[in-house]
Amino acid sequence: MGRKGLFTWAMLLLTGGGLVGMQLGSRATSDDAYESLKKLEDAFLVITQRYVEDVDVGDLTENAIEGMLSNLDPHSVYIDAERMKRVAEDFNASFEGIGISYELIPGDSGDTIAVLNPLPGGPSEEAGLYAGDRIIQIDGSPAIGFSSEEVQSNLKGPRGTSVTVTVHRPGFRDDLDFTIIRDKIPIVTLDAAYMLDDDTGYIKLNRFARTTYSEFREAMKTLMDDGMERLVLDLRGNAGGYMDMAVRVADEFLSAGETIVSAKGRFPDTNEKYVARAGGLFEHQPVIVLVDENSASASEIVAGALQDHDRALLVGRRTFGKGLVQKQYQLNDGSSLRVTISRYYTPSGRLIQTPYGSGDRSDYYADKSEQYRADATSSLDEIIANTPDSLLYKTSSGRTVIGGGGVLPDYLVYADTLSHLMQQVVGRRLHSMFVRQVLDNNGTEIRDAWIEDRYGFVDGFEISDDVMTKFEAFAGEANMIFADDVSHYDGDSSVVAFSYAELEADRDILEILIKGQIASRLYDRSMWYPVYRPLDKVLTESMNLWVKAEELAFNDTGAR
């Protein structure tokens, strides 16, 4: 994994409290620490004043900081001032701008900004922008060839300021101008909330930011009004966030006095214990929690607490295994140090942190990958049997759970492997690019027919034979060829060839992916999930496990 990728992982896997920073130097400094600090200062002055060439003191300082952190744990990281702005937006769950999601479409003259969705209720939707619009000018200046950074710097801005965008709308002869008043734009952390059937609600959280609990609670109330009697909470791919948000979400499922999580550090003020309060929204109903290898940090706090108290059935794959709590310390230039201050433990006493030697992130993530491969060839009982006794713990009812490297689900489910054909389609994003063409040509017709009936779209919209024929032609332009006999393409490295039989075998999958992309662009990202549901093996198998989930919820007495 490259340096940038490692940084992104480390940045996302946060469980610390606030992003407000703390004043440094509040603890007494030992003589040894002072002497070491003086040594570091002397070395810095020698290098900057006597080295044969000019030295960039900023780079030197940042490299020194990263060097110190590299000897700690994989989650203690340095965040420079520019990255810190983006991190703050992500975890504060808002920014100020025009409110669109977009993609950059490659072209001969440079990339074009294409609107994926105007965010619901945002200034772009109010101004009249549509999904599929191409932004070609911003305030009268060409916007072709912009990088993502340039898009952000030109479209984001202080609330109340205006920006005029000129768009080309497919199917319209003349370009259109829209003056948009920038506003505060929320970043939604709840991807989807809908009813799977008459009794079962589904909530998907993508991270734990400042607004997560309020989003979650509002969605829960809506689903309960719709008749929800049991819940699937999807934490797959949720890399974490604020510990207090995870605690508040978990609290809605647990009874008063039950421990949610505890933290223990080197200093007394880093030791904390969080206990559930009375009055949770869903303290007695059956719950299934979906997790995978990208569920980390705050996600693991929720999953671990519900598993340890036998409050939910966990389904999926072993979680990432991050049991460290970070605190953010702001430096004088707007950059920050995110430093591990404690370890957290689930209610049964488990430390679920994956073992690490030092801050060597490449070895750390390589070890995680090896663990995932080993899990995939083992049953749940085999994994538990091969776990040292020191890492075995008991839930409230006496079930065995493990620590020392993630939260192991109660039922392991692995996704089906995509065929070579579908790996090529998904890897090249052909389904996504094809949908752009579909909406360019037929977007008005589809919008007029379905925009007011989003859930009717899930069951009623079908991918026609004509659309699939057009996909074949589109794929051919991208050098993916379909034929009855592909043997004469052997040795031709310029194309990848598949038989019509292979295409027919994967047709159902391809149709769902195309339909899901249309739904995401026609409505919003949340509509991907009900459309994609037939392909979601983990969710499908979890729906067969409600008897066990109900046993956990009701025990033998019919109530907790």
- For 202, counting Cβ atoms within 10 Å of its Cβ (0-12 exposed, 13-18 middle, 19+ buried), the class is buried
| 211: Cβ contacts below 8 Å, ≥ 6 apart | 93, 94, 186, 187, 188, 189
Whether 223 and 195 have beta carbons less than 8 Å apart is answered as: yes
Q: Which residues pair with 78 in a beta bridge?
A: 337
> Helix, strand, or coil here: 330?
strand
Which of 15, 13, 560, 535 has its CA nearest to residue 312?
Answer: 560
Distance CA 379, CA 451 (A): 46
Phi and psi based region of residue 233 (left: phi greater than 0; alpha: psi -120 to 50; beta: remaining): beta
Q: Which of the 8 DSSP states describes residue 139?
A: T
- In 139-278, beta strands by DSSP E: 141-142, 162-168, 176-181, 183-186, 190-195, 200-205, 230-234, 259-265, 272-275
> Helix, strand, or coil here: 340?
strand
Residue 374's CB is within 10 A of a number of other CB atoms, namely: 13
Whether 305 and 398 have beta carbons less than 8 Å apart is answered as: no
Whether 261 and 274 have beta carbons less than 8 Å apart is answered as: yes
Instruction: Count the alpha carbons within 13 Å of 71 in the hemisphere toward its beta carbon.
Output: 4
Query: Number of helices (H) and strands (E), helices first, in the chain?
Result: 20, 23
H or E element that contains 244: helix 243-251
C-alpha distance from residue 244 to each of 210, 383, 529 (Å): 9, 31, 27
Q: Say what angle helices 430-450 and 465-477 make with each other, to 10 degrees.
A: 150
Which of 398, 346, 350, 408 has its CA nearest to residue 375?
Answer: 408
Active-site annotation, residues: 297, 308, 322
Tokens of 220: 């829960």
Tokens of 341: 């201050």
Which of 153, 150, 156, 176 has its CA nearest to residue 165?
Answer: 176
H or E element that contains 94: strand 94-97
